[in-house]
Amino acid sequence: MPQHFDAVVIGTGQGGSPLAVRLGKNGRKTAVIERGAFGGTCVNVGCTPTKSYVASARVAHVARRAASYGVQVAGDVTVDLAQVKARKDRIIGESRSGVEKWLRGADNVTVFNGHARFTGPHTLSVSGHDGQISAELEADEIFINTGTRAVVPPLEGLERIRYYTNSNLLELTELPEHLAIVGGSYIALEFAQIFRRFGSRVTVIVRGERVLAREDADFALAIQKVLAREGIEFRFGAEPQSVEPLPGDGVRVSFGNAQPAIEATHLLFATGRRPNTDDLGLDAAGIATNPHGIIPVDGALRTQVPGVWAIGDVNGRGAFTHTSYDDYQIVAANLFEGGNRSADTRIMAYAVFVDPPFARVGMSEAEVRESGRPALIATMPMTRVGRARERGETDGFMKALVDADSKQILGAAILGIEGDEAIHTFIDIMAAGAPYPTLEYAMHIHPTISELVPTLLDGLKPMK
């Protein structure tokens, strides 16, 4: 006889954990099922570990530039990857244990360790690593929060080499001599800069003709220029066809368009992610996925089966930690506060944590132009920002896009020091539905990055 719960949450990522606690707090008898490490992708192999590496890499970079600030550092600056990893592991461990302790101590919440599979629309089995079923559950409400995993292309010879994804690259304790990275988007570029600053030779293999194909070309090329200046090599128009082992753990990557092969000591694939939905028994629940494994949901994040929701990366509505947490907030508001919140009205915002960071909210310039609407545009180089000059970090620029008729901000982007923080001036105004003069006329603190946002808006001109 299955154990009955009012609600079951599958997965303890950034949406699932707070939702489980909130369900219990509101009197629902709640079960949480976690098959791996508590905290999901962000805590264990995503944001937390990679941003700790970004921090270490930045320290090394600044130390090498110390003389330009009048600071003398004796000897060469080197990186001990084992110590960098140990620091990362301490940070992860604190976060992971904190999430687990929080869940196990929450009112009306029972934690199950194991793999969840649907056996019906509202029934689940929980099994261990040996495949043996340890529990059977039924619930009125089920919330799927199982995250994503790295995708590795099926190249010829892949089974003969040692390769890495974002997860196991973080387990290295010795620096790669030469790291080759397949991919040209966020994860690829962040790891490229990290390991180049650590001291590795880095080659980025890009299928297209530039990095960050989803972004405006001016931002993408500016980021590429910064990375190339730091010594990162790029190979464009290159699609790997096969791989083969070299002595040691090295690898040769060959291409199908007469490009010369690349030989490296380590190979990282940063070629996308796939939802962890293929082993959930969704067929038994009557839940279909699209060809990419994503579970379709409505604006309230409900699946096609009544009483079953999909939140976080699995629903294809964002694939960021902050969108996952916003999914939790949408569900909680609708369930407990009589709300009518919808992901359909969410304004997308995100950052690429290269240094300097790139952050964007709303529409890109390309998207605005494609829409055909009358619009205003303004750009401003970071060389005009006092804090950037004082810090000696003037790479990048700002851009804002405004609807010419309504004066609503359509989108904004910042490539530059602290741009990942300054972008929130735009995010908040857009979320409030306020016209751009509200931000243009605001008094900002000097000297900051955000203080130049009103000046940027002063320069709006019709888009040509």
Write out the DSSP string of 10-72.
E--STTHHHHHHHHHHTT--EEEEESS-TTHHHHHTSHHHHHHHHHHHHHHHHHHTGGGGT--
- How many angstroms separate the Cα of 227 from the Cα of each of 165, 278, 308? 21, 37, 44
- Please identify, in words, the CATH class of the domain defined by 158-271: alpha beta
Phi/psi at 406 (5° precision): -85, -15
Whole-prediction pTM: 0.96
Instruction: Answer yes or no: is pLDDT of 271 > 90.
Output: yes
The pLDDT assigned to 115 comes to: 97
Q: What is the mean pLDDT of the chain?
A: 97
Query: In the predicted model, is pLDDT for residue 200 greater than 90?
Result: yes
- The predicted model gives 416-439 an average pLDDT of 98
Whether the predicted pLDDT of 257 surpasses 80: no
- Answer whether 3-149+274-345 and 158-271 agree in fold: yes
What is the band of 353 on the pLDDT scale with cuts at 50, 70, 90? very high
Please report the pLDDT score of residue 1 as a whole number.
Answer: 85
What integer pLDDT is reported at residue 404 of this predicted model? 98
Dump pLDDT digits (tens) for 126-154.
Answer: 999 888 999 999 999 999 999 999 999 99
Whether 244 shows a pLDDT value over 80: the answer reads: yes
393 and 375 in contact (C-beta within 8 Å)?
no
What pLDDT is stored for residue 135 in this prediction? 96
- pLDDT on residue 129: 86
Question: What is the CATH architecture assignment of 349-462?
Answer: 2-Layer Sandwich (3.30)
Q: Is 446 a catalytic residue?
A: yes
Beta-carbon contacts of residue 98 (< 8 Å; ≥ 6 apart): none
| Backbone φ, ψ for residue 127 (5° rounding) | -125, 155
Answer for the pair 308, 142: CB distance below 8 angstroms, yes or no.
yes
**CA 195 – CA 192 distance, rounded (Å):** 6
Confidence of residue 248 (pLDDT cuts 50, 70, 90): confident
Give 347's DSSP letter: P
DSSP bridge pairs for 164: 268
Mean pLDDT, to the nearest integer, of 113-121? 98
User: Measured in whole angstroms, how far is the alpha carbon of residue 194 from the centre of its chain?
Assistant: 16
Measured CA distances, 3 to 8, 30, 108, 109 (Å): 11, 11, 14, 13
6-33 average pLDDT score: 98
Mean pLDDT within 240-247:
95
Q: How far is C-alpha 146 from the geometric centre of its chain's CA atoms?
A: 15
Contacts of 383 (CB under 8 A, 6+ apart): 389, 394
Q: Which of 115, 122, 444, 446 is catalytic?
A: 446
> Do residues 117 and 125 make contact, with C-beta atoms less than 8 angstroms apart?
yes
Dmax (CA) for the chain in angstroms is 73
pLDDT at 309 over 80: yes
Share of the chain above pLDDT 70, in %: 100
| pLDDT for residue 168 | 96
What DSSP state is assigned to residue 365? H
Distance CA 350, CA 295 (A): 22
The mean-pLDDT minimum among 177-181, 256-260, 341-345, 352-356 falls in: 256-260
Question: What share of the chain in percent tops pLDDT 90?
Answer: 97
**The pLDDT of residue 256:** 83
279 burial type by CB count under 10 A (0-12 exposed, 13-18 middle, 19+ buried): exposed
> Does the structure show a pLDDT above 90 at 58?
yes
Domain ranges of the chain: 3-149+274-345, 158-271, 349-462
Top CATH class of 3-149+274-345 equals alpha beta
> How confident is residue 247, by pLDDT bands cut at 50, 70 and 90?
confident
